[in-house]
């Protein structure tokens, strides 16, 4: 990571059956391997996290892999897309079907097709399996 970079690790890390989040333990272990930059942990989800993160200014890269419902992605898209820098990238998980995984009924696929694909601020630049990458063009 660039020495001046800032990574916002966004996840609520809800406790599991054992009273703690195993995902949080794994994420913290993996982040310790990152050299350079700064990591800010934001224990919120979706749009609630955007309110906090975007106070620091526009972001260059966003990976959205949260609530895959129509309303969930709508909320995330509205909150995060507005806070992107020029030429920023947004990666959306489970936003299209792939040859090995038909998810056409997922709310996130429908929202991507009906709204994001028509958003004049962004253009799709790549698709890998069910992940789409969008670039801010305006």
Q: List domains and CATH numbers for the chain.
A: 1-43 (no CATH), 57-138 (3.40.50.150)
Q: Please calculate the CA angle 43-1-127 and round it to the nearest 5 degrees.
A: 80
The structure tokens listed for 74 are: 């709508």
SS3 1: coil
Matching residue, tokens 């709508």: 74
What does the alpha-carbon distance between residue 24 and residue 95 come to, in Å, rounded to a whole number? Answer: 25
Among candidate residues 70, 49, 72, 71, the one with its CA nearest the CA of residue 62: 49
Q: Are residues 110 and 100 in contact, defined by beta-carbon separation less than 8 angstroms?
A: no
SS3 43: coil
Q: Are residues 112 and 72 in contact, defined by beta-carbon separation less than 8 angstroms?
A: no
pLDDT in tens, 21-66: 999 999 999 999 988 999 999 999 888 999 999 999 999 999 999 8
pLDDT at 18 over 90: yes
Supply the pTM of this predicted model.
0.89
């Amino acid at each position: 990571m660039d020495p001046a970079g800032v990574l916002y690790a966004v996840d609520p890390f809800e406790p599991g059956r054992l009273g703690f989040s195993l995902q949080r333990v794994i994420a913290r272990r993996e982040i310790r391997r990152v050299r350079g930059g700064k990591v800010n942990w934001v224990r919120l989800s979706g749009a609630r996290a955007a309110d906090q993160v975007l106070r620091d200014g526009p972001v260059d890269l966003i990976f959205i892999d949260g609530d895959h419902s129509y309303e969930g992605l709508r909320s995330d898209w509205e909150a995060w897309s507005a806070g992107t820098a020029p030429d920023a990238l947004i990666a959306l998980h489970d936003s299209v079907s792939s040859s090995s995984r038909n998810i056409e009924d997922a709310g996130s696929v429908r929202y991507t097709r009906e709204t994001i694909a028509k958003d004049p601020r962004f253009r799709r630049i790549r698709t890998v399996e069910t992940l789409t990458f969008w670039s801010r063009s305006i």
